[in-house]
Amino acid sequence: MSAEKKPQKMSVTRLQAMKQAGEKIACLTAYDASFAKILDQAGVDLVLVGDSLGMVIQGHETTLPVTMDETVYHAQAVRRGLSQALLVVDLPFMSYVDPMTALHNAGRLLKESGAQMVKLEGGASQVQTLQLLARNGIPVCAHLGLQPQAVHKLGGYRLQGKDDQSAAILLKDAVLLAEAGADLLILECVPELLASEITANVDIPVIGIGAGVGCDGQILVLYDLLGLSHNAPRFSKNFLLGHDSIQAAIAAYVAAVKASSFPAPEQVLA
């Protein structure tokens, strides 16, 4: 009898192949080794150490207080719990104010924490930063729509791209970021039709959070998925309800993403 074949480790090129094949990508946040291992064993494709740790772990009202040292610490812990999933780590607020600063801090995350990709927020203004990171072999996940690090400028956590003008800017920015070298794009709190249009117009995988089922994959904050957040967003779902363990809840989430049954209509923002 042949030995059981081990799952193939996730990579940037595999994510691209999944988009091309129409295979949905299941993503979640994690902040420590124990949860990271559970996510990995449940078949989560991509794990994000998000600056959401500032809110769900540290108790801040926003993500802004999170530092580079704190991000490195949590990413190191998550890295130890993963064997298959791709590790993406947020560049925290003010850690990529110009291309050279971004290069330094992105390099820290790859060298010190074992991250395989970094994530940054912003549209056309990030093109030069993306180009520099790409030239230096650093994979990047871009982030459009609701940008938590710009919450004060946006006036709160609100749906983005609701009118024709802002929708056109989001679509243009997505194309610019992909052309500049982004390997992945997260769309947060964007109308479902707009998210589907952006997904169809860029060659890189698009991961939605509050952006409907038409994206190439989905991501949630782990604590929202488990019903642990005090103010979970409407686009989220408590997968622990109806399941007898955290492992079963996460497996149910992965299955729902893969089957395109999450997000359901009740999780779509309007």
| Cis upstream peptide for 263 (omega within 30°) | yes
Q: How confident is the model at residue 2 (pLDDT cuts 50, 70, 90)?
A: very low
Q: What is the pLDDT of residue 189?
A: 94
With 50 as the cut, is the pLDDT of residue 75 above it?
Answer: yes
Cα 211 to Cα 269: distance, rounded to the nearest angstrom? 7
Nearest CA to 261 out of 26, 10, 43 is that of: 26
Cβ pair 127, 177 in contact under 8 A: yes
Label residue 212 left, alpha or beta by phi (over 0 means left) and psi (-120 to 50 means alpha). Answer: left
- Model confidence at 1, pLDDT cuts 50, 70, 90, reads very low
d(CA 149, CA 240): 29
CB atoms within 10 A of CB 169: 15
Indicate which residues carry an active-site annotation.
188
Please state, for a pLDDT cut of 90, what percent of the chain lies above it. 88
Cβ neighbours, 10 Å, residue 179: 14
Average pLDDT of the chain, as a whole number: 94
- 217-250 pLDDT, tens digit per residue, is 999 999 999 999 888 888 999 999 999 999 999 9
Span 122-137, pLDDT tens digits: 999 999 999 999 999 9
For 176-195, what is the mean pLDDT? 97
pLDDT band at 267 (very low <50, low <70, confident <90, very high): confident
Cα 71–Cα 75–Cα 81 angle in degrees, nearest 5: 155
What domains, with CATH codes, occur in the chain? 12-267 (3.20.20.60)
